[in-house]
A and B are shown apart, each in its own frame.
Chain A
Amino acid sequence: MNESLRSTSSSKDFFAVFRRSLKTATWLGWKIESNWTDPFLFAVYSIIKPLAGAAIIVVMYSVIAQGNYNTPYFAYLYFGNAFYQYVSSVMTGVSWAIVDDREHYKTLKYMYVAPIQIPAYLLGRGVARILIGTVSVVITILAGILFLHVPFQIANVNWLLFIVTLVLGIIVLVMMGLILAGVTLMLARHSDFVGDAVSSAMFLFTGAIFPLTSLPVFLRPIGYALPITYWLELIRRSLIGTVVDAFPTFSAFTNLQLLGILVAFTVVLGVISNSIFKSCEHRAKEQGLIDRVTNY
């Protein structure tokens, strides 16, 4: 076989294995997430948790604002908090697969000897979380519109911007999850906290629940260095554009400029996340960490 044919064949193989790994891992991830109980209880579980999280903030706001939800800040807070559910759900979902397979099911070593691509497998495990996260976000937003009259006009939604931003954001979160999965591979202790810890930390710095200008000046650069900050700003602009005008953090930037920044982050993360994961994986293999069970 000549060189060019061999190359085509090998890239076909690569995509075939990638697709197969992704598809099977998606199915497996969904089963793990959902089949521990009957569908009704699973639906209740998937609805109650995000709604309770949103309701804490709603009650806090309501206590002080005496039930006046028709303010720009409430819309800012509500939408930011609702969409932030994707961050913990997707990012943690991808990295959690390492903890689950290594410590709980003790199958990670078998995954490594199987003819699959581990990054594709991890991404597939994250897809179930994306679905669950989407349901949570939709329910939270619907509850806000129906019961709290959050200022939202469907006719004013910039759908193109929303869909492009949402897709880019999910890709960014998956890539960040892959980096965390690599870090998780090398950790013996607290590995189950890594995703939650990172998403909790970013909750403060990404303008999810208050504008970045509320942070002390020396902390604001952290927010500007995180792609999720731009993602949330664009999501708000696409859904509740007029409300965002009340918050001047990014008023100097057009939608296109913010989208450009988000695309740049996506490309950079796409390049470095796989390299970081491979590097961590190499180290984990060298140190015999792939099948380490700590029971920590």
Chain B
Amino acid sequence: MLNLPKIEKRSSGAQLFMQTIIGRASPRLIGLYREKSWLIFDVLFPMLSVIGYVLIYQAIGAPADYIGFVVVGGAMTAFWMNILWSMSSQLYWEKETGNLPLYISSPAPMMGILLGMALGGMVATLIRAAAVVILGSLLFHVTYTIQNGLMLAVVFILSMIALYGLGMMTASAFLLFGREAWHIANLAQEPVFLVSGFYFPLKFLPFWVSAAASLIPLTLGLDAMRQLVFTSGATLGFLNVNLEAIILAVLSVGFIVGAKLLLGYTERLAIREGRITENRR
């Protein structure tokens, strides 16, 4: 008989939940130090798109603030890509690589795993996005006029909570998809960059397009941040910043509750239909 060491301390409840969050977040943070190549792939290559869009604006003689809009928008794409490929698709990848049954059969709560993924991804992506902003600002001499630092922090934090709440919710939804998951994540890039106004002020899109796109938290978050850090931002804003902050707060609560409900539904469905370990290539 196999002699396994005796488990001396069993965690449960809030302690287990916290340990799960830390446990799932840590690989994403440790990876930043162990695998330095992200500096090239996650900073340098996104910078190429930013440079391309900036040069277009420069070629058509756009005002200086538009260069800043592209730099900030380009940095925020890192968060959207993280949501698509490291949150929404993550449980699908875990199923593909065989980790998902281990997660589910372990005592760790799935909500804790999703929160850990979100927290680790958020911090890692924040560093990448900051690098893009710093590099882009230095390269193109972008000037920022921060009008309300506290509001800026509030809007950013609300955007992140709502965005990663959306990521947690879609992680469960993507688990239900088969081979479609990769294609759906792939499809949700350029169209979202377009309707969310990553590279131009949202105000220039038709109102109902912008209103519908506001379900994606980065749409309003980016619009509010631009209003708070650029001189011409307020005149080019879609909605009032306070209203945008309220909508982001509502989205945050809605997406996190939605994530909890959808995760429960997915688990029940998967157990009932025996699809939790199904691997359809």
The chain A residues found within 8 Å of chain B, CB to CB, are: 36-37, 45, 48-50, 52-53, 55-57, 59-65, 73, 77, 104-105, 189-190, 193, 196-197, 200-201, 203-204, 209-210, 214-215, 295
Minimum CB–CB distance for A118 against chain B, Å: 21
Identity of the chain B residue whose Cβ is nearest the Cβ of A211 in the assembled complex: B59
- The residues of A that contact B41 with a CB separation of less than 8 Å are 190, 193, 197
Contact yes or no, B56 A57, CB < 8 A: yes
Contact yes or no, B201 A63, CB < 8 A: yes
- The residues of B that contact A65 with a CB separation of less than 8 Å are 60
Contact yes or no, B62 A64, CB < 8 A: yes
Partner of A56, one of B97, B179, B199: B199
Contact yes or no, B201 A209, CB < 8 A: no
The A interface, classified by DSSP as helix, strand, loop or mixed, is helix
- The residues of B that contact A73 with a CB separation of less than 8 Å are 59-60
- Cα–Cα distance between A214 and B45 once the two chains are bound (Å): 20
Contact yes or no, A64 B57, CB < 8 A: yes
Q: How many residues of B contact A (CB 8 A)?
A: 37
Contact yes or no, A197 B194, CB < 8 A: no
Within 8 A of A (CB), among B230-281: 281
**CB<8 Å pairs between A and B, sample of 16:** A36-B179, A48-B187, A49-B187, A49-B191, A55-B194, A56-B193, A56-B198, A63-B66, A63-B200, A64-B57, A189-B35, A203-B49, A204-B48, A204-B51, A210-B55, A214-B59
- The residues of B that contact A214 with a CB separation of less than 8 Å are 55, 58-59
Minimum CB–CB distance for A140 against chain B, Å: 12
A77-B56, A204-B51 known; A59 vs B187 contact (CB < 8 Å): no
Minimum CB–CB distance for A273 against chain B, Å: 23
- Cα–Cα distance between A240 and B114 once the two chains are bound (Å): 52
Minimum CB–CB distance for A296 against chain B, Å: 9
Minimum CB–CB distance for B75 against chain A, Å: 16
Minimum CB–CB distance for B162 against chain A, Å: 23
- The residues of A that contact B22 with a CB separation of less than 8 Å are none
Identity of the chain A residue whose Cβ is nearest the Cβ of B189 in the assembled complex: A49
Contact yes or no, A45 B58, CB < 8 A: no
Contact yes or no, A59 B205, CB < 8 A: yes
Residues 180-201 of B, flagged 1 when their CB comes within 8 A of A and 0 if not, give: 1001001101110110001111
| B53 CB-CB contact with A under 8 Å | yes
Contact yes or no, A59 B204, CB < 8 A: yes
Contact yes or no, A200 B45, CB < 8 A: yes
A59-B200, A104-B281, A203-B52 known; A193 vs B60 contact (CB < 8 Å): no
- The residues of B that contact A63 with a CB separation of less than 8 Å are 62, 66, 200-201, 204
- The residues of B that contact A190 with a CB separation of less than 8 Å are 37, 41
Residues 56-74 of B, flagged 1 when their CB comes within 8 A of A and 0 if not, give: 1111111000100000000
- Cα–Cα distance between A52 and B60 once the two chains are bound (Å): 21
- Cα–Cα distance between A52 and B188 once the two chains are bound (Å): 10
- Cα–Cα distance between A57 and B55 once the two chains are bound (Å): 12
Contact yes or no, B66 A64, CB < 8 A: yes
Within 8 A of A (CB), among B81-107: 97
Contact yes or no, B187 A36, CB < 8 A: no
Minimum CB–CB distance for B102 against chain A, Å: 14
Residues 199-229 of B, flagged 1 when their CB comes within 8 A of A and 0 if not, give: 1110011000000000000000000000000
- The residues of B that contact A60 with a CB separation of less than 8 Å are 53, 56-57, 199-200
- The residues of A that contact B51 with a CB separation of less than 8 Å are 204
Contact yes or no, B190 A193, CB < 8 A: no
Partner of A45, one of B179, B183, B199, B204: B183
- Cα–Cα distance between A65 and B191 once the two chains are bound (Å): 22
- Cα–Cα distance between A16 and B10 once the two chains are bound (Å): 65
Partner of B56, one of A52, A104, A209: A209
- Cα–Cα distance between A36 and B280 once the two chains are bound (Å): 11
Contact yes or no, B45 A61, CB < 8 A: no
Contact yes or no, B48 A201, CB < 8 A: yes
Partner of B49, one of A49, A52, A61, A200: A200
18 further contact pairs, Cβ within 8 A, besides A63-B66, A64-B66 = A49-B187, A52-B190, A60-B56, A60-B57, A60-B199, A60-B200, A64-B60, A64-B62, A73-B59, A77-B56, A189-B37, A190-B37, A190-B41, A209-B56, A210-B55, A214-B58, A214-B59, A295-B97
Minimum CB–CB distance for B214 against chain A, Å: 17
- Cα–Cα distance between A59 and B45 once the two chains are bound (Å): 23
- Cα–Cα distance between A271 and B66 once the two chains are bound (Å): 45
Contact yes or no, A210 B48, CB < 8 A: no
- The residues of A that contact B59 with a CB separation of less than 8 Å are 73, 210, 214
- The residues of B that contact A104 with a CB separation of less than 8 Å are 281
Minimum CB–CB distance for B40 against chain A, Å: 8
- The residues of A that contact B190 with a CB separation of less than 8 Å are 49-50, 52-53, 56
Contact yes or no, B37 A36, CB < 8 A: no
